[in-house]
Amino acid sequence: MAGLADGLPPETLQIAYLLAGVLFILGLQRLTHPRTAARGNLISASGMVLAVGATVLWFEILSPLVLAAALLVGAAIGTWLATTVETTDMPQLVGLFNGFGGGASALVAGAELVDQVGTAGTASDLSVTVTAAAGVTGLVGAVTFCGSLVAAGKLHGVLEDPIRYSGENVVKAVTLLAAVVVGVALVTQSPRFGPLQLGAFATPYWVLLALASILGVLLVVPIGGADMPVVIALLNACSGLAAASTGFVLDNSVLIIAGTLVGASGIILTVIMCRSMNRSLRNVLFSEYGGASAAAG
């Protein structure tokens, strides 16, 4: 805490985060009414500027050039994509952005693990809260990243048809189970898991990330293009939850508040969208092989 805001009382950052959280809530509230929606988006954007600005000014940045370069590159790409997109292509671009958010969360948790193992000396010094939250972030973040890429591709007309095969739910379940086992190895640090020890490179975390990435692809590939808006809505909720669990890893309140708001509102929106199609979420995600799809093809 020796950034540019040196000399301010230590509570300043938390107050700034609280204000940002309030702005997100007000913005979200206004986004639900047609007349105030555009204003709500601006309110929420001002909350983001406040939260990010306070963070950059508050903490000592040891590699300012790296940070500035990354911010510039990201802002340039984001602006370019958002301003050049055709109206009809907007949904897939939102899906793509959403995937990037989930991917960023997964990378942050990994980087923090690498950092903490580096400073703690031995992996067993890490608290269970940190490793467990990092595991959740990695799982949800990577599923969001890969799932969103597939979903955006389907909306864009690539891979539009659902890809189905017999026993697909078993394959998904086995992949999830493998990811959970690696997650347990990450959290418990038990020597029984052999090579899955948390070394300097946080190996089990990256294995978890790889499995979760495969799972993300497996989950979205069998779903038809027409159901993609619901899938994007659900993945949006996931990217929020990934951000929230990143907050647990980094001990950061505004990440938890904003991420959870997105997660909860995203889940309820997903349910509302399913209901308006007269279907259940389970039916959209896991409609059994041989059911509706066999009749269709």
Q: Is 64 in the site for another protein (CB under 8 A)?
A: yes
Q: Is 91 in the site for another protein (CB under 8 A)?
A: yes
In the DSSP assignment, the letter for residue 87 is G
d(CA 40, CA 31): 5
Minimum Å gap between C-beta 29 and another protein is 5
Q: Is 120 in the site for another protein (CB under 8 A)?
A: no
162 to 191, contacts with another protein by CB under 8 A? none
Total residues binding another protein (CB under 8 A): 103
Contact 263, 240 (CB under 8 A): yes
Minimum Å gap between C-beta 19 and another protein is 14
Minimum Å gap between C-beta 14 and another protein is 9
246 to 275, contacts with another protein by CB under 8 A? 246-269, 272-273
Q: Is 199 in the site for another protein (CB under 8 A)?
A: no
Minimum Å gap between C-beta 191 and another protein is 24
Minimum Å gap between C-beta 7 and another protein is 20
Token pair for 78: 């984001």
With CB under 8 A as the contact rule, the residue among 7, 9, 10, 119 that binds another protein is: 119
In the DSSP assignment, the letter for residue 158 is T
Residue 56 or 159 with smaller CB distance to another protein: 56
In the DSSP assignment, the letter for residue 198 is -
69 to 88, contacts with another protein by CB under 8 A? 69-71, 73-75, 77-79, 81-83, 85, 87
With CB under 8 A as the contact rule, the residue among 16, 92, 103, 213 that binds another protein is: 103
Exposed, middle or buried, 260 (CB in 10 Å: 0-12/13-18/19+)? middle
**Other beta carbons less than 10 A from residue 1's beta carbon:** 10
26 to 45, contacts with another protein by CB under 8 A? 27-29, 31-35, 37-38, 40-42, 44-45
With CB under 8 A as the contact rule, the residue among 135, 216, 222, 240 that binds another protein is: 240
d(CA 60, CA 2): 5
Q: Is 110 in the site for another protein (CB under 8 A)?
A: yes
Nearest to 21 by CA among 10, 32, 33, 13: 13
d(CA 231, CA 159): 15
Minimum Å gap between C-beta 235 and another protein is 9
Sequence-ordered list of residues with C-beta below 8 angstroms from that of 59, at least 6 positions apart, any chain: 1, 3
Residue 140 or 175 with smaller CB distance to another protein: 140
Q: Is 233 in the site for another protein (CB under 8 A)?
A: yes
d(CA 81, CA 77): 6
d(CA 190, CA 261): 35
Residue 260 or 293 with smaller CB distance to another protein: 260
Residue 27 or 153 with smaller CB distance to another protein: 27
Exposed, middle or buried, 12 (CB in 10 Å: 0-12/13-18/19+)? middle
